[in-house]
């Protein structure tokens, strides 16, 4: 997809969020999304295996 399409969709999502929740709530949602993106990027750069983590977590919980 072209950047124009991505940015158009981003504008649509931001505008809809603003209308539905208000400005401050929209900023909060955008900040949480950015924090999640940064954490995901960092984990990906460390080659973190999420599936293996979930398997270990489920094994510990079910014991």
| Domain span at 44 | 3-62
* pLDDT band with cut points at 50, 70 and 90 for residue 1: low
The sign of the dihedral angle between the CA atoms of 56, 57, 62, 63 is positive
Query: pTM surpassing 0.85?
Result: no
| Dist CA 55 CA 63 (whole Å) | 12
Mean pLDDT of 32-57: 85
Domains in the chain, number: 1
What is the structure's pLDDT at 3? 78
Give residues with Cβ within 8 angstroms of 46, minimum separation 6: none
Of the pLDDT bands very low, low, confident and very high (cuts 50, 70, 90), residue 59 is very high
Higher per-residue confidence, 1 vs 63: 63
């Amino acid at each position: 997809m072209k950047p124009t399409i991505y940015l158009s969709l981003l504008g649509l999502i931001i505008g809809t969020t603003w209308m539905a929740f208000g400005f401050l709530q929209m900023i909060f949602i955008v900040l949480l999304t950015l924090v999640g993106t940064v954490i995901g990027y960092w984990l990906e750069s460390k080659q973190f295996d999420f599936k293996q983590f979930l398997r270990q977590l489920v094994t510990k919980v079910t014991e």
